[in-house]
Structure 1
Amino acid sequence: MTTVTSSEFDRGIALAPDGSTGGHRGELGAGWQIGGGVNGGLLLAVAANAIRQELPEHPDPVSITGHYQATSHPGPVTARAEVIRRGRSLSTATATLSQPDEQGRPVEKLRVLASFTDLAGLAGEVRTSAQPPALPPREQCVGMEHAPRELIAQAALLERFELRLDPATVGWAVGAPSMNGRIQGWFRLADGREPDPLSLLLVADALPPVTYDLGLPGWAPTVELTVQLRAEPAPGWLRVSHATRNLAGGYFEEDCEIWDEAGRLVAQSRQLARVPRG
């Protein structure tokens, strides 16, 4: 698998060994912020990159779950990965991301448990009743250049993406949310980097929170995020759909489907997040 070092995403998840067992160091960039912290999907990709470096025979997550313990900020980050089991077709590993506090003491921000495989070696058979979201052509969708200023101000990472959102799901941008709890559209990285398994972890948390479509704008911090990858994505645009069916007790779930240019469902995710505070 070729790493495109000129890509903002690849630089954003880059890690170097720190000399300890399973230890790696990196730098979280300010360009990946949303609300009060660094995007949860980007953080999951950083942790997955640490695991990948410990599992060269199984480079791809097939299922990865992250529990977010504290807000991550731009600056140095330490990733520590541990292989729990190496199998012939599937391996299990854990990882943590930590950042120093004001006194220089490490504070754990994210803990991950994941199963890794080689997606290129999976069987090609597909049996599914799932259907990709019905989206208008990209030229008929709404680009982020039309997004409300307050959204762009709190989501620097949107400048890293090229999003074309379904007009039926962006009424919230003009004060008329549909109240259906769905946001969907076309996605690709702004610098043209083609999708791969690690970038799908970012895509799973890339669209504006579905709470916008419920009339609840603002930052929605992720508590837990699980992403399941089904295949290597084909080059080109991705179709992404985020939806929620239940908001209760100050939390909501957000389900995501990611479809590639070939019309295949390449990733699914569910996250639990906090409802934005007014």
Structure 2
Amino acid sequence: MTDDLPIVLLHGSATGSHSWAAVRTGLEAHGARVVVPDMLGYGRSPAPSEAWQLKDEVAHLRSWLDMQGVGAFHLVTHSLGAFFGLHLRLAVGSRVARLTLVDPVVVSVLRVPGEEDALREGQTLCDRFMRAWPDHGAAACLLVEHWSGAGAWNALGEKGRALVTRLAPRLRLEMTASAADRTTLAEFTSTAVPTSVLVGERTSVAPRSVSRLLAGAFDAHTVVVPGAAHMIPLTHPAAVVEGIHAGMVAS
């Protein structure tokens, strides 16, 4: 790695900090300092309250980073982690000194002409999840199989299915917050930051469109990960490590 910024890895929906294990190992092998928070309701973090809002997640992440002694940092996000990460950046400003977005999912930037198909994907997933509620297992299964493909739910095994099912109330909160947000692309990208975008060659229309929009607005270095779908940190961790390094060299 070519700079001394600590790297903060922010997970996506229905996963947790553990989803970055292989990426973290690869980055640390190159001498990077890596910190990996769990959002509220994930891992060892406390559960969110029933009144949880987006601002509470941002406050949690900001407090956690402060407790770790993190000043300026390189923020790496995956999937819906980009939604929370970009809002965190709005809150902490220049502390986010570098940004890497891995197959980002940020519904609000799709509310523009020409992105109807991508927006529909997110809206349809949210609608199906809410129709399955309050069956936690059915709702969690819908989410997992949307992003990881048919059969992914069974492939998790009994322990994995139980873990994601327990996350269902948290998943409902974050999907509601994402669907309700109206932050525009211009607002998210109003200040410049060196940015890289990694997008799966086989990902779905929503993250592909979000990647294109954010890359254009940030003037980002973009890497298409061959053979990858959406869950790149789990399926192609070496590509994430290489993409982070390549982005640092290019900027």
Q: Which is richer in strand?
A: 1
Query: Which one has a bigger Cα radius of gyration?
Result: 1
Greater helix share, structure number: 2
Q: Mark yes or no: TM-score above 0.5.
A: no
